[in-house]
Amino acid sequence: MDAIDVIVTKRDGGELSREQISWMIGAYTRGEVAEEQMAALAMAILLNGMTRREIADWTAAMIDSGERMDWSVLDRPTADKHSTGGVGDKITLPLAPLVAACGAYVPQLSGRGLGHTGGTLDKLESIPGWRASLSTGEMLDVLRAAGAVVCAAGSGLAPADRKLYALRDVTGTVESIPLIASSIMSKKIAEGTGSLVLDVKVGSGAFMKTPERARELARTMVELGTDAGVRTVALLTAMDRPLGRAVGNALEVAEAVEVLAGGGPSDVVELTVRLAREMLAAAGLDGAKDPADALADGSAMDVWRRMIAAQGGDPDAPLPRAAETTTVTAPASGVLVRLDAYAVGMAAWRLGAGRARKEDPVSHAAGVTVHVKPGETVREGAPLLTLHADDPARFPRALEALEDAWAIVPDGEPDLLPLIIDRVTA
């Protein structure tokens, strides 16, 4: 085949055949298709879209570019969850051990943060000794010891996606829903899980700003999972304000542990329990132990401790603390009706909690503590936010990001998205 013919077909609004897609992905992965040619095809896809069949074939070709994981040796069903990312989204941390405590195995491959959104692996690496990189054999060992494992994807899993993702990032084609959906689902299907729950974030702190766009992405991913034989469901959840009260790596680990201990912010608890119930139902375990009970009786905490220890971490070790803090106080008394998730995420990033490029280091201690959530009252001069950083020179730019981040009115109700906006199934 010829790459130019494939590009022209999609440029002119045509439908790519399975053979064209398979050849193009394979040749690009092998280096036989030039970067500029794949960039042209990605732009054509962004502008003209793809049919459901094309997206399924594109996803399958990316899966076929690497290895597939197989958990059939396990004696219980497997369940996984994927979030499209947000600010303060530490849900995976309490969720994986919670679902394992209720009877499923949870093999969770997670990623790192980029820009204003946090990454699960960065958070867990706040724990002294914890290892993100495990072989498939080590993953099995941790699953058998603890019931859940959270780690990095190996280089052999959907290598075509890794290469294409980097290209999309520098060619203005990240926003294409067919390419987003196939990127996420190629890795999740190759991961080998039997069921999958997707947490598709909506709002200023999310990639999808509106429920309509988020619903389109969720529907596309659910279709891909279903077509591949993976029981898949998606929830659309709010990201117009930070999730919980902690934003930043070690800060979020501490909050996740609070949830596992039976406390924590109500929104984090509510979403964790709801996603756990969805995962158990998708795995055929909806009659199993209720997740709320597993939080209350300490069994989820027991799984967390075993999981962290099995990956080399010390669950009792002190978490990193920032050398410097500064507090933002309320300029007036009243009701906080808005706290913009994107602005808080940008502030945490500028404090050192995130990275601009994949190879950048992060500060595990940096971040933002939210003292007042939308809908709560505050007195003039009372703490609104606390900023944490190892280097105080980072505070001015972080404060700039927060200049228009909140609104306080004498009396009123916030206009917020519901925490759980919608549920999308096959």
Return the active site residues.
82, 161, 168, 183, 187
In the DSSP assignment, the letter for residue 203 is S
Q: Nearest Cα to 63, choosing from 228, 254, 177?
A: 228
> What phi and psi values does residue 281 have, to the nearest 5 degrees?
-65, -45
> What phi and psi values does residue 78 have, to the nearest 5 degrees?
-105, 145
Structure token pair of residue 151:
């780690």
Name every residue whose Cβ is closer than 8 Å to that of residue 72 and which is 6 or more positions away in sequence.
none
Answer for the pair 267, 244: CB distance below 8 angstroms, yes or no: yes
Q: Compute the CA torsion angle 300, 305, 309, 315 (nearest 10 deg).
A: 140
CA-to-CA separations, 81 to 95, 198, 262, in angstroms, rounded: 9, 6, 22
CA-to-CA distance for 257 and 192, rounded, in angstroms?
28
Answer for the pair 248, 87: CB distance below 8 angstroms, yes or no: no
Determine the Cα angle at 394 with ends 329 and 405, to 5°.
Answer: 40
Name every residue whose Cβ is closer than 8 Å to that of residue 137 and which is 6 or more positions away in sequence.
none
